[in-house]
Amino acid sequence: MRGIKKILWQKRLGDDIKAPQNNGATPTPVTDGKHVWFLFGSGDLAALDMDGAVTWSVNLVRDYGNLATKFGYSSSPLLWDGKLYIQILRRDKPYSGAVGNDRPLESLVLAFDPLTGKCLWKHVRKSDAVDESHESYSSPIPFENKTRKELLIQGGDCLTGHDPAIGKETGRCKIAPGGAWRTSPTGADGKILVMSEEGEVVMVSAGANGRILSRTNHDDAPACSTLTAANGRIYVRTASKLTCFGKQP
């Protein structure tokens, strides 16, 4: 990158993972300008100050069991409204390695204190998905409408909203079976958009009684693409083109 002269610091925060088409660096870090929070595919989650000093660290595998995601865990942490949110949407049994406990693995949504690393709440996110369909490569997404704030979680064949204060599920919409619905949702004009690996875009109404409003298909979609929405328009990226649809100005 132009302007970068030298490395100021480096830290090893955990071991790398071996997964098809992925490595442990997939999750994106988040910062408030004073601290940086890193999450790796190994399950290592750490807070560092801007000088590189580790202020706290935890390991999700040690505390919550095998991450059990076929192509490697890749969900990014969300820093929002004073909490650090993490999702673990996974198969109920690992592809390799130990489970980490004596029970089938549960999919979880977690909230941490970003300054101390203390887990503030844990929500078990149930679904009736089958096998690999439990897994998701999405990240938690903040969503606000006129009545409330929600944490959006996409995966396990459904879209759910959660109370960011306590994790309680506030709404659920069954999208479709089959495991292809596992990229991050997008909020737009009071509605929620999700996209499948096959390029199908679904618009869902917000709220506890979320329902499907429309479905559109886009050919040549990449396997894990997230939509962008702004000013009444929706932007869909496929392998060969960018499509914009919505109302004319």
Alpha carbon separation from 211 to 61, 85, 183 (Å, rounded): 35, 25, 19
**Model pLDDT, residue 5:** 76
Sign, CA torsion 159/163/165/167: negative
The answer for residues whose C-beta is within 8 angstroms of residue 49's C-beta and 6 or more apart is 34, 35, 36, 55
Average pLDDT of the chain to the nearest whole number: 85
All domains in the chain, ordered by first residue: 30-246 (2.40.128.630)
**DSSP label at 60?**
H
Structure tokens at 169: 């599920």
How large is the average pLDDT for residues 209-215?
Answer: 78
Is a pLDDT exceeding 60 seen at residue 1?
no
Cite the DSSP H helix spans in 25-172: 60-64
Is a pLDDT exceeding 90 seen at residue 206?
no
Weakest mean pLDDT among 19-23, 60-64, 105-109, 186-190? 19-23
Report percent pLDDT > 70 for the chain. 86
Chain segment 157-201, per-residue pLDDT in tens? 899 999 999 999 999 988 877 667 778 888 877 888 888 777 778
- Grade residue 6 by pLDDT with cuts at 50, 70 and 90: confident
Chain segment 34-55, per-residue pLDDT in tens? 999 999 999 999 999 999 999 9
- 60 and 43 Cβ atoms separated by less than 8 Å: yes
Chain segment 60-102, per-residue pLDDT in tens? 999 999 999 888 899 999 999 999 999 999 998 888 766 655 6
**Model pLDDT, residue 249:** 44
**Model pLDDT, residue 22:** 77
How large is the average pLDDT for residues 130-152?
Answer: 89
